[in-house]
A and B are shown apart, each in its own frame.
Chain A
Amino acid sequence: MTLTHEPIEGEHFVVVSETTGDEWEIVVGLEVHCELATATKLFCGCPNMFGDEPNTNVCPVCLGLPGSLPVLNHNVVELAMRLGRALHCEVEPSVFARKNYFYPDMPKDYQVSQFDQPINVDGWLDLPDGTRVGIERAHIEEDTGKNTHAGGSGRIHGADYSLVDYNRAGVPLVEIVGRPHIRHPEQAKTYIDELRAILLTTGASDAKMEEGSLRVDANVSVRRVGETELGTRCEIKNLNSLRSLGRAIEYEARRQVDLLETGERIKQETRHWDEGAGRTRPGRSKEEAEDYRYFQEPDLVPLAPSAEWIAAIDAGMPPLPAARRDALARASGLVITDTSVVIAVQRDLDALALASIAAGGDGKRVLTHVEHNLSGEGASNLDPAQFAQLVTLELGGQLTATQAKTVLAEMVTSGRAPDVIAAELGFEAMDSSELEGIVDGLIAESPEEWADFCTGDDKKRGKLQGFFTGKIMKATKGQADGKAVAALLESRRAESL
């Protein structure tokens, strides 16, 4: 069965079952774990460092040795609150809890987390497409050690034994629990992109999926369009890239629709994404929360950030992607969801664009160049006033779009003014009589093609338009303005009919 995605009124998406023609809605909630960018671990002074020699960043606290006591890292609270406030959460008094489970990735046999009283609650994140995704909570917890399964088939089930590196045990994490407001695989990817941008902007995490400092689990369910109750969900793990995330959601939705349409029920379970096979497989059945036997961590006192501390976090908050898009949309006259607006902020070029617009550059044209002709690096050399001048020359007809692109590239490299570069390259507005002479000459050279161009059907004419435009551009070394050429060809055609 194939599923097709059709946006409904621009905000919801529906998948259509090919077997029955029924319409289904995908419902996704994402849980994101991100490692905080601290110097040390959550409860001890061991370095928080990826990729070090195994078991070199360990001490009695993170090895769970008897008599050791945890002490909370100030910077963890600072970064967790920055992230929470960036996600519009309330910062609440919170306590730590032990999540008990027996597995050698935590030498204590429990993970310190926050359970019924998390630090950040009830926030939201706005996607570039305008969707607001609720954030249920963003709580602090510690990361686990890293197991390598050895012997047997190398897979968990076939392993004879495991080797454990505790460098990562006790590294601070924030788990961001999103509400099930996502309706499409692409939207899930966008959510992670946006969250990454916030993590980077606030300095909370380096958010590298490939190094595991940002990890995503997806809760996926489906329901018939129009239903308001949530369906039974499955939690998909082992999503190591955005591509995996999108593919896994797509696969899982299809699997669930197939089951439901054949009268079966969805079993709530954890499933693992197999990137190679392109499918999800059942993992262990999800333990009931009570099996973790959460209880308050007696070795840690409650956390209650003062109103002053929270106010200082808010005061020091850098402009966030959504606010930056808003500012750029207002200045350029484009909508906040315009691709060029979204990309300018993604590439950190919105400050340049704003300054160029303020210097008199046309907003739409400035952002078009940012989207297509500038990368994040190098463009920082660009002087906003000169960028504005370039756009003005282009819109005034003194430079063609192609020439403007060439001049812009040179401006990025040399930092010189656009009029100087244009003169040096011999980019001058082509005199219209000069262009007419060249065009008439080329028409005379190819009478058959010209006749076909004048009388042929749309398809033929389109093809020959390309033929003549190519010849003209070659003859003028790209200096002819594309629009002027098209207009001239059209008027000559009208004359000859």
Chain B
Amino acid sequence: MSARLTRDNVAKVADLARLNLTDAELERYTEQLGAVLDHAEDVASLDLDGVPPTAHPLPLVNVLREDVVVEGVDRDEVLSQAPSVEDRRFRVPAILGEEP
């Protein structure tokens, strides 16, 4: 198990994502995510002095589109694929006082 990531860390992130994990799952994800962080640590151990932080692998900036309306998708088609619909809106479970 990675020293960088504890079971509690994973439990907290799961909670923020509203994921209900079993003990076995917590164990498994802690190990898997730890391996990802270990890999990042390998990169971080390189001598990166003088290498500017990379925001994006592509050597591009300012990829822009014109402000012109493009046809979207049909509402009935979209709503027909939702698990629950009411009054032309998506119906979702109650929110427990949490909002951005």
Q: Taking beta carbons and an 8 Å cutoff, which residues of A are in contact with B?
A: 38-40, 44-47, 53-60, 63, 71-77, 93, 95, 99-106, 109, 111, 144, 147-152, 156-157, 159-166, 283-284, 291, 293, 296, 298, 300-305
Given contacts A74-B66, A301-B61, contact A293 B72 (CB under 8 A): no
Whether B16 and A291, one on each chain, are in contact in the complex, defined by CB atoms closer than 8 angstroms, is yes
Asked if B29 is an interface residue, CB under 8 A from chain A, the answer is no
B79 close to A55 (CB less than 8 A): yes
| B interface, CB within 8 angstroms of A | 13, 16-18, 55-56, 58, 60-73, 75, 78-79, 86-100
Find B92's partner among A45, A100, A162, A303 (CB 8 Å cutoff): A162
Provide the residues of chain B in CB contact with A298, threshold 8 Å: 56
Q: Which residues of A contact B64 (CB under 8 A)?
A: 71-74, 77
Q: Which residues of B contact A106 (CB under 8 A)?
A: 100
Residues of B contacting A93 with CB < 8 Å? Answer: 61
Q: A158: nearest residue on chain B (CB-CB)? A: B94
- Are A46 and B69 closer than 8 Å at their CB atoms? yes
User: What is the CA–CA distance of A58 and B89 in the complex, to the nearest angstrom?
Assistant: 12
Interface centre among B16, B60, B100 (most CB of A within 10 A): B100
Our pick among A44, A45, A54, A293 for the contact of B16 (Cβ within 8 Å) is A293
Q: Are A159 and B89 in contact (CB under 8 A)?
A: no
Q: How far is the CA of A289 from the CA of B53 in the complex (A)?
A: 22
Known: A54-B89, A93-B61, A304-B62. 11 other contacts (CB 8 A): A39-B69, A40-B70, A45-B65, A46-B69, A59-B72, A103-B100, A149-B95, A163-B89, A298-B56, A301-B55, A301-B56
Residue contacts A-B, CB under 8 angstroms, 14 given: A44-B72, A46-B70, A56-B75, A77-B64, A95-B55, A100-B16, A102-B98, A103-B100, A104-B92, A105-B99, A157-B97, A162-B91, A165-B89, A304-B61
B85 CB to nearest chain A CB (Å): 9
* Residues of chain A with a CB closer than 8 A to B18's CB: 102
Question: Are B95 and A103 in contact, with the CB atoms below 8 A?
Answer: yes
* B residues in contact with A165, CB < 8 Å: 88-89
The total of Cβ contacts below 8 Å across the A-B interface reads 149
With contacts A166-B90, A293-B16 taken as known, whether A305 is within 8 angstroms of B98 at the C-beta atoms is no
Partner of B95, one of A156, A293, A303: A156
Nearest A residue (CB) for B12: A291
Minimum Cβ distance to chain B for residue A50 (Å): 15
The reply to whether A284 and B98 contact each other, CB–CB distance below 8 Å, is yes
The closest CB in chain B to the CB of A164 belongs to: B90
Shortest CB distance B86–A (Å): 6
In the assembly, what is the distance between CA of A359 and CA of B83, in Å? 70
Q: What 7 A-B pairs come out closest when comparing CB atoms?
A: A45-B70, A75-B67, A163-B89, A59-B72, A74-B64, A104-B92, A304-B61
Residue in B69, B73, B94 whose CB lies within 8 Å of A58: B73
Kindly list chain A residues whose C-beta atoms are within 8 Å of the C-beta of B68. 39-40, 45
Q: Say which residue of A39, A60, A159, A304 sits within 8 Å of B94 (CB atoms).
A: A159
How many angstroms between the C-alpha atoms of A72 and B69 in the bound complex? 13
Q: Could you say which of B69, B89, B90, B100 contacts A45, with CB atoms under 8 Å apart?
A: B69
- Contact at A303–B61, with CB atoms within 8 Å? yes
Nearest A residue to B64, CB-CB: A74
In the complex with contacts A45-B70, A46-B70, A47-B69, A163-B61 CB distance below 8 A:
no
Return chain A residues, CB-CB under 8 Å to B90: 55, 104, 163-164, 166
Shortest Cβ distance from residue A410 to the other chain B in the assembled complex, whole angstroms: 46
Which residues from A are CB-within-8-Å of B98? Answer: 102-103, 284
* Contact residues in B for A40 (Cβ distance below 8 Å): 67-70
